[in-house]
Amino acid sequence: MGSKNLKAIAVRGTGTVPGDNPKRLADISAEIYDRTSEDMAAQAIRMAGTAGYLDMAAMYGDLPIRNFQVGEWEGAGNLSGVRMTEEYLVRSRACFKCPIACGRETRAPQHGLDRVDGPEYETLGALGAMLQIDDLEAVIQAGHLCNTFGLDTISTGGTLALACELFERGLLDTTETDGMTFRYGDAQMLPQAIEAIARKDGFGERLAEGSQRLASEVGVPELAVTVRGLEMPMHDPRAFHGQAVAYVLSPRGACHMQGDMYSVDTGQIELAEIGIAPGERLESSDAKGRTTARQMIWRALYNAINLCQFQNPGSDLVLEALNSIAGWELTLDDLITTGKRILAVKRWINQQRGSTGEDDRLPVLLSKPLDSGGTLGSVPDMDIMLAGAYDELGWDEDGFVSEKALRALGVRMES
C-alpha cells in the first residue's frame, strides 16, 4: 500500500453480520466478560495500562536498555506506568464492551499537549529505556508524534538506538546526519529525528529504511538488533528464553504478537489442556521449545480470529464462541491443527522467498550475556529449543516445511 501512496481503504455498509446461534453466542460472550473481569493479569492492565508492566520488566531484565546492552538502569523508574497513571493520565480507553480498558490518554504539559494517545509499554521501552531517556513527558510527546506520522514506535526506537550507538562508537558524525546529533539520554533529539524519518528529510531518509539497512551501510551489521530485518520488541529474550524461539520463528520477523512466552512464564497464561503451562523463565530445553511452539499455535488462532491477547478466557469458551458464530462443530484438536496450518503456510511462503532455518537466529548483541540485572548472565540455547519447536510444529530438523507436511495439515497444493 505504501509504495502506491495508498493511505487507507474505507468500507461502509448497512447490513448485519449473522451468527448461527446468537443466543448461545450472547451467553458465551457474557461468560467471557465475567472471566476477563475476574482475571488478575487483565485487571492489572486496567489499573495502569500496558505501561504497568515496566517495573516488573525491569526487575526480570526483560526491559531493553541502551540498545539491549545494559542489564539495569536507575532511570527506568521514571518511566513507570504507575507514575504515568498518577501524574499524566487523562483517562482510560476501552474497545467495545471490553472490561480491561488498557488504552491510555495522557498529557505532557511541558510540550503543550493536553490530551494525546498512549504511550504503551512498547513505546516507553523503545523511545525511553532503549535510548536511556527517562523524561516521561518527552517520551509521551515522542510516542504521540510517531502515531501522528504513522510510524511504528518499536522500529523507530530501535533505529534511533542504533544511531546513538553508531555516534558513540565514532561510526557516524554530524557531517553525515545534516547536523543532527544522536546521544543516549538526549530527549531533545526525539522530535527532530522522528519528523525527519516521517518526511524522509536528509539523514531521515536513511533512518526511515530501518536499523538493519543502516547498520549494513555503515559496515557493522552485527549492531542491528533485528530478526529477518524487523526490529526487536521490548522484551529481552535473555529474560525469557522461550521468547527467543517465538522471535526467530515469527513469520514477519521479531514480533511479540506471534507468541508471548513472557506472559506464560510469569503465570499470566496457562492452558494445560493444550500443553501451555508456566515454567522456568531462564530454561533452554526441548520442552521449552515445544511449549513456545504451542503458544505460537494458540496465538496464530488469536490473530486469525482477531482476539485481544490480553483476553484469555480459556480454550473452551474460545471454541464455543467460534462454533456458535459459524455453525461449525470444531473440536479443540481441530483448532490446534488450524493454528499449525497457519504457521506452516506462512513458513512455506517465506521459504519460497528464500528464507531458511539459517535465518532462525537472534541478533549478535543478544548472544552476549549481561553482567547485571535480572537475566543473571544467561543467554538462550537456540539449537536445543528450536529442535523441540520444529518437531512440535511438524517441520523437519532444519525447520523446513515440506509439501507433504502441508498436505497432512489439510493444505491443498496445486500442481
Query: Which one of 202, 231, 260 terminates a domain?
Result: 231
Residues 200, 272 within the same domain: no
Across 24-33, average pLDDT: 95
Please state whether 200 falls in left (phi above 0), alpha (psi between -120 and 50) or beta: left
Residues 115, 247 within the same domain: no
CA distance 70 to 32: 40
Confidence of residue 203 (pLDDT cuts 50, 70, 90): very high
Residues 273, 387 within the same domain: yes
What pLDDT is recorded for position 254? 97
- Output the domain CATH number for residue 400: 1.10.599.10
Q: Is the residue at 153 inside a domain? A: yes
What pLDDT is recorded for position 132? 98
Q: Is the pLDDT of residue 2 over 80?
A: no
Residues 254, 390 within the same domain: yes
Q: Is the pLDDT of residue 215 over 90?
A: yes
Contact 181, 189 (CB under 8 A): yes
Confidence of residue 193 (pLDDT cuts 50, 70, 90): very high
Query: Which one of 198, 231, 264 terminates a domain?
Result: 231
Residues 204, 278 within the same domain: no
Phi and psi angles of residue 276, each rounded to the nearest 5 degrees, phi first: -110, 110
Give the cell for residue 377: 548472565
What pLDDT is recorded for position 163? 98
Tens digits of per-residue pLDDT, 73-95?
999 999 999 999 999 999 999 99
Residues near 302 by beta carbon (within 8 Å), at least 6 away in sequence? 309
Helix, strand, coil shares, percent, the chain, to 5 = 55, 5, 40
Q: Is the pLDDT of residue 413 over 90?
A: no
The SS3 of residue 24 is helix
What percentage of the chain has pLDDT greater than the value 90? 93
Q: Is the residue at 31 inside a domain? A: no
Residues 201, 272 within the same domain: no
CA distance 355 to 344: 13
Confidence of residue 415 (pLDDT cuts 50, 70, 90): low
Across 216-243, average pLDDT: 98
Residues 309, 336 within the same domain: yes
Q: Is the residue at 39 inside a domain? A: no
Residues 205, 58 within the same domain: yes
Q: Is the residue at 288 inside a domain? A: yes
Residues 159, 215 within the same domain: yes
Task: State the average pLDDT for the chain.
Answer: 96
Across 102-117, average pLDDT: 96
The SS3 of residue 316 is helix
Q: Is the residue at 35 inside a domain? A: no
Contact 231, 122 (CB under 8 A): no
Angle in degrees, 0-180, between the axes of helices 286-305 and 241-249, rounded to the nearest 10? 50
> Nearest CA to 247 among 386, 147, 387?
386
Contact 359, 230 (CB under 8 A): no
What pLDDT is recorded for position 100? 94
Number of domains making up the chain: 2
- Output the domain CATH number for residue 142: 1.10.569.10
Residues near 234 by beta carbon (within 8 Å), at least 6 away in sequence? 57, 63, 64, 121, 122, 124, 125, 126, 129, 130, 154
Give the cell for residue 367: 548472544
Residues 61, 169 within the same domain: yes
Residues near 340 by beta carbon (within 8 Å), at least 6 away in sequence? 297, 393, 394, 409
Q: Which of 44-48, 150-154, 217-221, 280-284 has the lowest mean pLDDT?
A: 44-48
Q: Is the residue at 306 inside a domain? A: yes
What pLDDT is recorded for position 1? 80
Across 319-330, average pLDDT: 96
- The neighbour count for residue 10, using CB atoms within 10 Å, is 5
Residues near 245 by beta carbon (within 8 Å), at least 6 away in sequence? 259, 261, 288, 289, 292, 293, 380, 382, 385, 386, 389
Q: Is the residue at 23 inside a domain? A: no
Residues 182, 120 within the same domain: yes
Q: Is the pLDDT of residue 316 over 90?
A: yes
> Nearest CA to 160 among 198, 103, 112?
198
Tens digits of per-residue pLDDT, 328-374?
999 999 999 999 999 999 999 999 999 999 999 999 999 999 999 99
Query: Which one of 194, 211, 231 terminates a domain?
Result: 231
Give the cell for residue 151: 510510524
The residues with which 113 forms a beta bridge, in sequence order, are 108
The SS3 of residue 232 is coil
CA distance 14 to 10: 14
Q: Is the residue at 170 inside a domain? A: yes
Residue 267 belongs to domain spanning = 241-370+378-408
What is the bridge-based pairing of β-strands 103-108 and 113-117?
A: antiparallel
Tens digits of per-residue pLDDT, 110-147?
999 999 998 999 999 999 999 999 999 999 999 999 99
Residues 288, 148 within the same domain: no
